[in-house]
Amino acid sequence: VNGLQARTFGVWTLLSSVIRCLCAIDIRNRTLYYLTLFTFFLALIHFLSEVFIYHTAALTIGVMAPLMVASFSILGMLIGLQYLEVEALSQNKKKN
């Protein structure tokens, strides 16, 4: 890893964190919700590819932790997405 790669990964991590915090603040924003879900999928794919495709990372606790966080976050957000859609439908019925 050189300095450029480390800074790029750091900026990517910071950007993902900002998106996730904004989603936590405005959880009903569907676009932001989908974007946040995408960041978790991207992280999961990135770490899985480093372990199983490129073989540049070992399956240690340092890699397992982000894999578990991304997996559980995706699962939770997919469950939460159902409630977000139900809430949107009920608000549309109230307007009509």
Q: Which of 88, 72, 74 is nearest to 30 (CA)?
A: 88
Structural domain boundaries enclosing 14: 3-95
Number of domains in the chain: 1
Tens of pLDDT along 17-64?
Answer: 999 999 999 999 999 999 999 999 999 999 999 999 999 999 999 999
If you write DSSP's letter for every residue of the chain in order, what string do you get? Answer: --HHHHHHHHHHHHHHHHHHHHHHHSTT-HHHHHHHHHHHHHHHHHHHHHHHTS--S-SSHHHHHHHHHHHHHHHHHHHHHHHHHHHHHHHHHHH-
- This prediction has a pTM of 0.87
- Top pLDDT among 95 and 40 is at 40
